[in-house]
């Protein structure tokens, strides 16, 4: 892996995040950390979705299922041994990676729409299991008491913001690396024509398993801190369809074939939603997401990245 401007920028953003959250270099209203956390969480989810959906063309409607499994793994760890967040994140990721691997084997028999429907089915089956599992609170939900402050960050929300920032940078770096590696070209071959790819020697099954596992892992780590962020988790909030819609809409709006697409889509749409939730209403912001998704898939299939490319190409 070569080090280039991207990695320098990523490191600079991480350091800036550390500077703001640890040393309080710039006085920032706490609400911005609270809202920023959600936006960064969508960066991770959208990027994770895009590894399968955008690069490989396998639509996953079950993002909410992975996210919730990540969150509930944290609940289990907390109930078992009051595990710290630093342990919750890798374990949640690992559990969801296994789940992703299982989903990858589904692709052996299911392609296209059938795969998409199966992922949705999986999310609902998982939700039913959680609803009926009393150890993690069942349908009524589970509380987690978090400390108000944590050294050296001070406020706990600032700490969570920083953690999510690091996870987002990690996710985008992984996605970018995959896209530019030989693996990424294999993914693109599967997206364009799976049979032809198989015939020309692309190891399609192995690549699909890698994609679903990595994608599942990233969705799991995004869900792990969720319980600490909200303090209370119940099935209907963790399995909320909003996660699935957003993680599809964001890459589609940004542009699904590059790592930049989900990043732009999540930052843009996530911020718009946060602003709309505060200023207008939370229902209306969901309507905006649905409307934008439909508009973009009809009018700009390549998303914002595609629009910019087209515009640049015309200028030349």
Partner 1 sequence: MFTVDLLLSALVAGVLLGGFYAAVSLGLTVAFGQLNIVNIAHPAFVILGSYVAYMCNSRWGLDPILVGLAFTPVFFLIGVGAYRIYYESFERRDDEALRGLAFFFGVMFIIEVGLIMVYGVDFRTVQAPYIGQNFKIGAVGVPTRMLVPFCVSLVMFACVYLYMSRTFNGRAIMAVAQDRLALQLMAADPVRIKQLGFGIGIGTTALAGALLIIIIPIEPSIGRLYIGQVFAIAVLAGLGSIPGTLVAALVLGIAESLVATFFGPSWAPAVAFGILLLALAFRPQGLFGR
- The answer to whether the beta carbons of residues 58 and 52 sit under 8 Å apart is yes
Q: How far is CA 160 from CA 38, 83, 140, 175, in A?
A: 10, 15, 25, 22
**Number of residues counted as binding partner 1 (CB under 8 A):** 42
- The answer to whether the beta carbons of residues 252 and 244 sit under 8 Å apart is no
Among 145, 298, 314, 316, binds partner 1 (CB under 8 A): 298
Q: Residue 30 is inside which H or E element, if any?
A: helix 30-56
Here's the x/- map for partner 1, 209-248, by CB under 8 A: it reads as: --------------------------------x---x--x
d(CA 87, CA 77): 9
Q: Which is nearer to partner 1, 24 or 283 (CB)?
A: 283
Q: Which is nearer to partner 1, 114 or 232 (CB)?
A: 114
The nearest distance, CB 56 to partner 1, in angstroms, is 11
Q: Which is nearer to partner 1, 127 or 158 (CB)?
A: 127
Two structure tokens written together for 299: 């009018």
Q: Which is nearer to partner 1, 16 or 195 (CB)?
A: 195
Among 249, 260, 264, 276, binds partner 1 (CB under 8 A): 249
- Of residues 46-75, those binding partner 1 (CB under 8 A): 53, 57, 59, 61
DSSP result, 267-307: HHHHHHHHHHHHHS-HHHHHHHHHHHHHHHHHH-TTHHHHH
Helix 204-223 / helix 30-56 crossing angle, nearest 10 deg:
170
- The answer to whether the beta carbons of residues 96 and 216 sit under 8 Å apart is yes
**Which window, 13-21, 107-115, 143-151, 305-313, contacts partner 1 (CB under 8 A)?**
107-115
* 120 binds partner 1 per the rule CB under 8 A: yes
The nearest distance, CB 167 to partner 1, in angstroms, is 25
The nearest distance, CB 305 to partner 1, in angstroms, is 15
Q: Which position has the token pair 């729409």?
A: 113
Q: Which is nearer to partner 1, 109 or 316 (CB)?
A: 109
Helix, strand or coil, per DSSP, at residue 6: helix
- The answer to whether the beta carbons of residues 225 and 100 sit under 8 Å apart is no
Which chain residues interact with partner 1 by CB under 8 A?
53, 57, 59, 61, 106, 109-110, 112-114, 116-118, 120-122, 124-125, 127-129, 131-132, 139, 241, 245, 248-249, 252, 256, 283-284, 286-287, 289-291, 293-294, 297-298, 301
């Amino acid at each position: 892996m070569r080090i280039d401007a991207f990695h320098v920028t990523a490191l600079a953003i991480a350091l800036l995040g550390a500077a703001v959250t640890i040393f309080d270099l710039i006085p920032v209203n706490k609400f911005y950390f609270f809202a920023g956390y959600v936006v960064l969480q969508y960066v991770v989810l959208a990027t994770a979705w895009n590894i399968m959906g955008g690069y490989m063309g396998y639509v996953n409607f079950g993002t909410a299922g992975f996210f919730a499994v990540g969150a509930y793994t944290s609940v289990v760890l907390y109930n078992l041994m009051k595990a710290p967040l630093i342990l919750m994140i890798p374990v949640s990721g690992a559990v969801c990676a296994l789940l992703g691997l299982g989903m990858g084997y589904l692709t052996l028999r299911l392609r296209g729409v059938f795969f998409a429907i199966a992922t949705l089915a999986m999310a609902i089956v998982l939700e039913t299991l959680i609803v009926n599992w009393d150890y993690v609170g069942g349908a009524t939900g589970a509380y987690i008491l978090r400390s108000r402050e944590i050294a050296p960050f001070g406020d706990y929300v600032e700490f969570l913001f920083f953690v999510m920032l690091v996870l987002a940078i990690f996710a985008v770096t992984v996605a970018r690396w995959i896209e530019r590696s030989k693996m990424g070209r294999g993914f693109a071959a599967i997206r364009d024509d799976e049979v032809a790819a198989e015939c020309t020697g692309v190891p399609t099954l192995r690549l699909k398993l890698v994609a679903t596992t990595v994608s599942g892992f990233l969705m799991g780590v995004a869900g792990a801190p969720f319980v600490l962020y909200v303090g209370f988790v119940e099935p209907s909030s963790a399995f909320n369809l909003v996660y699935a819609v957003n993680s599809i809409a964001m890459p589609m709006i940004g542009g699904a074939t590059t790592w930049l697409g989900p990043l732009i889509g999540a930052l843009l749409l996530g911020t718009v939603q946060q602003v709309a939730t505060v200023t207008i209403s939370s229902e209306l912001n969901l309507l905006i997401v649905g409307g934008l998704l439909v508009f973009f898939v009809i009018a700009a299939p390549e998303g914002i990245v595609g629009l910019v490319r087209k515009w640049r190409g015309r200028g030349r």
